[in-house]
A and B are shown apart, each in its own frame.
Chain A
């Protein structure tokens, strides 16, 4: 005995069955969702060249590879911003280990250092980003968490002191330890650097840094072409891609050429002392040997190469 259902009246009448309509609807929705899901890829593809995608880790680049990479980055900067930048890759000098000291007795909290960093390192203009954060601290307090980095009143307030904090270039950098892809490491001259083309943007290093010294490029930095600092370094101030970490490098594109960092030159109070820790005649060594030095969060044992002192 046959129990097969009778053909639907609509089908019999030459119409479309509900099943077909639902299938069609489902397929359309599925396709739309898929298109939406892969949309970022279509945006990503034109902005990432094959060369960039296939680029190897900085440490694995031969001198020739590196030259090709630098030329490509210069070409891309020209395409994107219309400016002729010069991306150098100065190597660490033998016999040099950089150190920085800051005199908290004279720092007046004017944030000129942060501004100089902003301009020198091609930071995103709308966010007014900088590698330096100046904390307004109550006298007698050493608690960074109670510091105010957002003051806008005139300085220096009589009952306060001002504590500029940037990357401390730790001897044992926790940010390097946590990086899952080894995109950040400590150079022989003590500078902790990031290969922006190798970083995957997981932000572990940002979480690991007890000094809040690392910044994340949430967006592609927006800078007017005429404001771009054209003297750039591969590991330092070239305009960063979106989605990678960045940090203070003691301006290594300047300091490895023998020049002073931008924040030091901008300081109107002369609070900053920079130099070679391995040179017994250097200014930084004189400060370390003659002033009462302290480091931030010493109990963590990270051995920062950034020192603070008060005038005796």
Chain B
């Protein structure tokens, strides 16, 4: 009986010692590892990602209607316009006798040279006469459409893609000309996507 008691005491002591050493080694109690859903960062943190504009239009080139091994041959606007005399009075493509004749133009009382630079047709013209590249059309449009530009700058006008929360991802924004044809900026007639076939949407028949 006594030997059994001594034996038990010895075993207990060894177990306790082993447990204490084990605890010290792992330094933390073992726990069931339940993966918790990731809690995203707060949205009010300072923005880390940027808002980029969709690339604006490249400097346009005109198709000549011929092609070579590299594809269709295009020429710069200035190719023709260097030798033609600018007409500052021109307000409509209908008055033209050749080139650009099908161009639909509905943009107030502006003339071609309100926005196109007569001294360099590969660029655009601001109201003060200075030259800006085609890629910066937003500046050009904003000269008249200041309220739209204000709304745009505050995210209240213009389509966008990406993240509302700029602390978690970037955003891409359309520029004016992604949605508006600069020669006829009003939204065109479009065929809508067909409606859902649900019964609630059917209008009541008038008696």
Contacts and interface: CB of A to CB of B under 8 A. Distances in A.
A274 B194 CA distance: 25
A101 B179 CA distance: 20
Mostly, the A contact residues are: loop
Interface in B105-160: 147, 151, 154-160
Given A270-B158, A283-B154, A260 B197 contact: no
Contacts of A186: none
A119 B194 CA distance: 14
Contacts of B154: 283, 286-287, 290
Contacts of A282: 164
Given A110-B190, A111-B195, A156-B187, A274 B164 contact: yes
Contact of B202 (A150, A215, A255, A283): A150
Interface string A61-73: 0111011000000
Interface residues of B, number: 47
Contacts of B57: none
Interface of B: 34-44, 147, 151, 154-165, 167-169, 171, 174, 179, 187, 189-198, 200-204
Interface string A145-165: 111111110111000000000
A126 B194 CA distance: 12
Contact of A260 (B36, B44, B161, B196): B161
A67 B34 CA distance: 9
A150 B195 contact: yes
Contacts of B165: 258, 276
B201 A154 contact: no
Contacts of B163: 258-260
A256 B203 CA distance: 36
Given A103-B156, A273-B155, A150 B203 contact: yes
Nearest to A283: B155
Given A127-B197, A128-B195, A152-B195, A259 B164 contact: yes
